[in-house]
Amino acid sequence: MRRERRVGSDRRAAAYNHPVIRATIILLLGVAAACALLILIRPVLFSLVISLVLFAALTPSLNKLRQQGWPPLRAVTVTMLITTAGIIAGGALLFPVITDQIHQIARQAGHLDQRLLAVLTTIGHWLEGNHLIHLDAEQLTTTILTTASAKMNAIHASMQAFFADIAASLLLIPLITFFLLCDFNTLRNQAMQLLPNRYFELGWIIYTRAARQLMNYIGGIATQAVIMAAICTLGFWLVGIDYAPLLGITAGLLNTIPFFGISLAKIPPIVVVLISNDPSAVNILLALCVIFAAQAFDNTYLIPRIVAKSASLHPLTVIISVMLGGYYFGFFGLILTIPTLFSLKVIHLELIRGLRRQSAHHAGTDSGKGFPSYRRL
Amino acid sequence: MTSASKHPLWFNFFRPKDDWIEETAQLCQQHQLFNNIPPHVIHWLVGTMHPREFQADEHLFWAGDEGAGAVLMLSGRVTISHNGTKLAEMQRGDIFGEVALVDGKERTADAVAIEPSSVVFFLRADLDEWSKSQPEHACTLLRNLGGMLAQRLLQANQALSGNHFEKMDANHDGTITREEFEAFYNKLQRAYIQAEQ
C-alpha cells in the first residue's frame, strides 16, 4: 500500500517535471505577471508600444551612425532629431491634404443614401428586366446603411480613441524612444541578470530567438502593408476611383488586421464610389475587383513568402484572439494581438525545447546515458 | 558610504555595475581571442558582457545544454569534466566554451565551479549585435576565433595521428566497446582543452 502511494507520488512528481508542463507553467506565470504589469502601466501602455515600434524602426539607422564611430549619445540625439523633424515636416505637408480630402468625403457622404438607392434601383431594374429576381431597393438600402453605420461607428470610435491616444502621447513617445535608444540594451541585460544561473543561458537563447522571429514577423507585416497599399493605390488610380492614395493606404493598414482586415478594406472604396459623381454598379465592381486582385496577390505571393513562415498559427486561434483583442483593446488590440500571440508561441516552444534538452541531459548525466553519440566525432 | 543610492532597492536600473569592467577588459587584452582589437573597443565590448557569480559545486553548464556563448574566468576555479572524468581546470583569465560563439551546438562537457567563482559570459547575441555596429572589429575577433579553433583542430589531428585507433581496432576486429570509446573520447577532450590553453 505504502509502495503504491510512493509510486503514485513519484508519477505525479515526474508529470510536474515534464518539460511541456514546466514550460507551460513558466509561461502562464510569466503571462500572469505581464498581465498584472499591463494593468499597472495601462495609462502609458500606448506610448510604450509606439516607442518600442519606433525604437525597432530607428535601431538600424542608429547602428549605421555608430558604425561610423559616432559616440552613442550623439548618434541617438541626431537620429531622434532627424526623425522628429521628418515626422513634423511630413505631418505639416500631409495634414492639410488629408483634412481637405476627409472634409470633401464628409460633404459628399451626406448624399450617400440617395446614391446607394439609385445604384440599387438600377441593379433591381436590370435584374427584373432579365427575369432574374425581384430586388426591393429601398429596404436593401436601409439595411445596408444601418449595418454599415453601426460598423463605421464602432470603427470610428476605435480610430478616434487611437488618434486621441497618439495626440495625448506626443510628448511622452519621443522621450521614451530616446531613453530606449540610449539604454534598452542595458535595461534588458539588467533584467536578464535576474535569471538564476541554471537558466541564464537558456533565457538568453529563448530571448534571442523570440526577438529575431518577432522582428521578422513585424518586418513581414510592414512589407505586406506597404505592398498592399501600393497595389491598391495603383489599382484604384487605374480604374479611375477618387482618393486612390488615401484608399490604398487605408487598405494597406487594414490588411494588417488578420482575417477581418481585408473585409473591412472593401468598405471605404465602395463608399467613395457611391459618393462620387459616377456611382455606377460597374465602378463598385471595379473597386471590388481591385481589392480582390490585391487579396489574391497577397494570398498567393506575399503571405507564403513573407508572413506565413513566421506566424504559423491555427486560423481558429487567430480569429478568436483577434476578436478578443479587439473587444478588450479596440483598434490597438486588433493590430497587436497576433504579434503578442506569436511571441508567446515562440517563447513556449523554445522553453519546451530548452527544458527538454536540459532534463534529458541531466537525467542522462545521472544515469550515465548522457554520453554524446559516436556519430558526433 | 551607505547612501540611499547605493541601496539595491533604489539603484539606477539603467546604470550597470561596472566595477568588473576594467579588470575584465585587461584580461581580454591578454587573450588570443582579442588580438589586434584596440583596447578602447575591448573596453566597450566588455561593457556589453554579463558577469555572474557561482557557488562552489554549482554547474556553469552541463554537457548537452545548448551553448549561448563563451565564458571568461575572473576569479575562482572551474573544472571541465565529462562523465566524471576531469578534463581541465580553468582559472583567472581563461576563456572556455567559445565554440558557442559560432553556433548553438550542445556543450560537450560539464563545467562546475570548485570554489566560489566570478565569471563573465560573452554571448553570441552580443557578438551578433556588435558585428552590426562594428563589423571590422567583429571580423577580427571571428578571425582570431577561427585561428584558435584551427589550432585546436591541428592539435586534435596530432592526437588522432597517434595509435589510439590502431590499438582499438587491433583488439576488436573494427568494433569498439563503450568503455573504450569513452576513454578515447576523454583523451580527445583533454587534447582539445590543452590545445586551447
Residues of A in contact with B185 (CB under 8 A): 371-372, 377
Residues A202 and A314 in one domain: yes
CA-CA-CA-CA dihedral for B38, B43, B44, B49, to nearest 10: 130
* Chain B residue closest in CA terms to A353: B66
Residues within 8 A of A (CB atoms), B 146-175 only? none
Residues A190 and A242 in one domain: no
Residues A204 and A187 in one domain: no
* Chain A residue closest in CA terms to B121: A201
Residues of B in contact with A371 (CB under 8 A): 83, 178, 182, 185
Per-residue pLDDT tens over the stretch A22-34: 888 888 898 888 8
Instruction: State the smallest CA–CA distance between residue B129 and chain A in angstroms.
Output: 9
| Mean confidence (pLDDT) of chain A | 77
Q: What is the mean pLDDT of residues A177-205?
A: 88
More confident residue, A324 or A1: A324
Residues A298 and A349 in one domain: yes
Instruction: State the smallest CA–CA distance between residue A208 and chain B in angstroms.
Output: 7
Residues A348 and A298 in one domain: yes
More confident residue, A324 or B80: B80
Per-residue pLDDT tens over the stretch A78-87: 988 998 888 8
Q: Look at chain A and report how many structural domains it folds into.
A: 2
Whether residue B16 and residue A189 make contact (CB cut-off 8 A), yes or no, is: yes
Do B115 and B53 touch, CB atoms closer than 8 A?
Answer: no
CA separation for the pair A14, B84 (Å, rounded): 26
pLDDT on residue B54: 93
Q: Is residue A41 one of the residues assigned to a domain?
A: no
Give residue A237's domain range: 195-261+294-358
Whether residue B59 and residue A198 make contact (CB cut-off 8 A), yes or no, is: yes
pLDDT on residue A58: 86
Per-residue pLDDT tens over the stretch B125-166: 889 888 877 888 889 999 999 888 888 788 777 766 655 555
Do B27 and B49 touch, CB atoms closer than 8 A?
Answer: no
Q: Does residue B133 sit at the A interface (CB-CB below 8 Å)? A: yes
CA separation for the pair A241, A246 (Å, rounded): 11
The percentage of residues in chain B with a pLDDT greater than 90, rounded to a whole number, is: 26
Per-residue pLDDT tens over the stretch A66-76: 767 788 888 89
Residues A155 and A256 in one domain: no
Cβ atoms within 10 Å, residue A290: 26
Whether residue B62 and residue A185 make contact (CB cut-off 8 A), yes or no, is: no
Q: Is residue A377 one of the residues assigned to a domain?
A: no
pLDDT on residue B182: 66
The percentage of residues in chain A with a pLDDT greater than 70, rounded to a whole number, is: 76
Residues A63 and A185 in one domain: yes
pLDDT on residue B156: 72
Among B78, B132, B133, B175, the residue to mutate for chain A (most A Cβ within 10 A): B133
Residues A211 and A228 in one domain: yes
pLDDT on residue B111: 92
Residue spans per domain, chain B: 16-128+135-196
Q: What are phi and psi of A143, to 5 degrees?
A: -60, -50
Cβ atoms within 10 Å, residue B188: 17
pLDDT above 90 for A163:
no
Residues of A in contact with B15 (CB under 8 A): 186
Cα–chain center distance at A286 = 28
C-alpha triplet A72, A77, A78: angle, nearest 5°: 100
More confident residue, A311 or B58: B58
pLDDT on residue A234: 92
pLDDT on residue B162: 59
Q: What is the mean pLDDT of residues A52-67?
A: 82
In B47-134, where does DSSP find H-type helix? 124-133
Per-residue pLDDT tens over the stretch B156-176: 777 666 555 555 554 545 555
At A183, which helix (H) or strand (E)?
helix A172-192
Query: Distances in Å between the alpha carbon of A111 and those of A157, A226, A286, A303, B173?
Result: 22, 32, 21, 38, 95
Band (pLDDT 50/70/90 cuts) for residue B190 is: low
Q: Is residue A121 one of the residues assigned to a domain?
A: no
Nine-digit cell string for A237: 488610380
Please state the ipTM of this predicted complex: 0.76
Residues A53 and A103 in one domain: yes
Among A73, A197, A206, A375, the residue to mutate for chain B (most B Cβ within 10 A): A197
Band (pLDDT 50/70/90 cuts) for residue A370 is: very low
Superfamily of chain region B16-128+135-196: Jelly Rolls (2.60.120.10)
Of A51-60, A215-224, B24-33, which range is least confident?
Answer: A215-224
Q: Is residue A155 one of the residues assigned to a domain?
A: yes
Q: What is the mean pLDDT of residues A218-245?
A: 86
pLDDT on residue B53: 92
Q: Looking at B124-187, which runs of residues are DSSP E strands?
A: none
Residues of B in contact with A179 (CB under 8 A): 14
Q: Is residue A319 one of the residues assigned to a domain?
A: yes
Q: Is residue A38 one of the residues assigned to a domain?
A: no
Band (pLDDT 50/70/90 cuts) for residue A254 is: confident
Q: Does residue B18 sit at the A interface (CB-CB below 8 Å)? A: no
Q: What is the mean pLDDT of residues A207-227?
A: 82
Band (pLDDT 50/70/90 cuts) for residue A157 is: low
Reference A26, options A374, A281, A354, A367; nearest CA is: A354
| Mean confidence (pLDDT) of chain B | 79
